[in-house]
Amino acid sequence: MDLQELIGLAGVPVIVALVQLVKPWVSDSRWHPWLAVGWGVALNLAAGVLLGNDPARTVLTGLVAGLAAAGLYDSGRAVFTRMGSRAQ
């Protein structure tokens, strides 16, 4: 694993935070996974350009990071929803 992949995958929590940040303006939750993928590609492409890496590889790493962030968001939402229903 090289520096680009490490930066890309370590950015997953940042992508989740960015999606949470724009949620007040994007109320339709069907767009949240797409936003995560978009943020992932954009951030990794920017990091790849700064580090001088292959653009195709940085886009692929961004897709993986965005999809991981979307899955993390959906999994966390499911867990907290389930925990909230048990508390009642």
**Cα-to-chain-centroid distance, residue 27:** 18
Domain that holds residue 73: 3-87
**Res 75: pLDDT:** 65
In this prediction, residue 84 has a pLDDT band, given cuts at 50, 70 and 90, of low
Q: Exposed e or buried b for every residue in 4-36, given b needs 16+ CB within 10 A?
A: bbebbeebbeebbebbeeeeeeeeeeeebbebb
**Res 21: pLDDT:** 92
Which of these ranges, 7-11, 13-17, 80-84, has the smallest mean pLDDT?
80-84
Instruction: Provide the number of structural domains found in the chain.
Output: 1
